[in-house]
Amino acid sequence: MNRNEDRNRKLGDSFRQSRREMFVIVGAWLVFLIWTGLVCAFGSGLDPDEPVKTLLGMPRWVFLGVVLPWIAACCFTLWFSMFYMKDTDLDPDQDGDHSAGDTR
């Protein structure tokens, strides 16, 4: 395999990893969007004859539709950045003997 083919293969690995990460992020974003939209749209159930149900001092639909998905999204972000996301080499021509700024 010549040098250009090897370089393209290494860049392809980085591209595939970033593409996988992109699908996970967009999928999670859609899940949280749907969760928030559905709970906030249908969870309020505002009936003028009944008092507003509260949870931790907030209307229940606010807690379940805004606060809870926000906490879940923060936990997902922490998991994603610590355990799923991988650092890939974006300069496959660098042989590892020199630092990025070294021109010797």
- Encode pLDDT of 33-80 as tens digits: 999 999 999 887 777 788 888 889 999 999 999 999 999 999 999 999
Instruction: Give domain status of residue 35, yes or no.
Output: yes
Residue 51, domain extent:
20-84
Say how many domains are in the chain.
1
Which of 64-68, 80-84, 93-97 has the least mean pLDDT? Answer: 93-97
Identify the pLDDT of residue 86: 84
pTM over 0.85: no
Instruction: Give domain status of residue 38, yes or no.
Output: yes
CA dihedral 77, 72, 23, 4 (to 10 degrees): 10
Spatial separation of the C-alpha atoms in residues 4 and 28, rounded to whole Å: 36
Model confidence at 85, in pLDDT bands (50, 70, 90)? confident
Instruction: Give domain status of residue 12, yes or no.
Output: no
